[in-house]
Amino acid sequence: MERLQKVLARAGVASRRKAEGLITDGKVKVNGQVVTELGSKVTASDRIEVEGIQITKETFVYYLLYKPRGYISTVHDEKGRKTVLDLMPLVEQRIFPVGRLDYDTSGIIIMTNDGDFSYTMTHPKFGIKKQYIAKVKGIPTREALKKLERGIELEDGLTAPAHVKLRSMDKKAQTALVEITISEGRNRQVRRMFDAIGCPVVKLRRESFANLTTYGLNAGEARELTPHEVKQLRVLAETGTIG
């Protein structure tokens, strides 16, 4: 038996968090009965409906996309801006981005239809590390970088410890390249962290996601993850080490 919200996420209905909302809102039925209690368990033989539509098991797909600047990390944008789906090859499944990259941020993002996988890749408790390269205005002091490493107070709370390294600086232009690795995914977090030390981000790119990089891809290109890569990511989330 498995928790209902996990089954919904695995079926590609929604992320696990959104699946929980569907349950508590009374939009999910199991064998004809509305279920609103989180943690309810179901079996493979149970009939599950979401808003009157029976769910079916979907074949999961996993893609690595090198997102360029100028695209929204969502399935649909109300303002009509280009989304990451516009960059993807035709895929039968209803895929969505794992987490988000800002409109003005480039780099690696995973696309999938596996809501449970998306949850484990983005929830801070699993500690999946994401490395960014930030070009910032101003040259951060050693103490400022230490503040980022220890955790810095933002309007939504203290950030978790990060790994920070000054890659290079241009004293004439008063800019610097800083490498920062975090395991959280708050809205515009990296940009807000650098704002907090007085060095606003001019350009930002996500270089890696766990053990994955954009090696071999040009901006705007995507490739399917291998089964081994997907397995490694799952093992990393479960154990903290690459299997």
Instruction: List, by residue number, the catalytic residues.
Output: 102
Task: Give φ, ψ of 169 to 5 degrees.
Answer: -145, 150
Question: What CA–CA distance (Å, rounded) separates 103 from 144?
Answer: 26
Question: What CA–CA distance (Å, rounded) separates 215 from 64?
Answer: 11
What type of residue sits at position 137? Answer: K
For residues 41-63, one letter each, b for 16 or more C-beta atoms within 10 angstroms of the residue's C-beta and e for the rest, the string is ebeeeeebebeeeebeebebbbb
Write out the H or E segment, with its range, that includes residue 16: helix 16-24
Question: What CA–CA distance (Å, rounded) separates 190 from 199?
Answer: 11
178 CB-near residues (< 8 Å, 6+ apart): 133, 134, 136, 140, 145, 164, 165, 166, 167, 194, 199
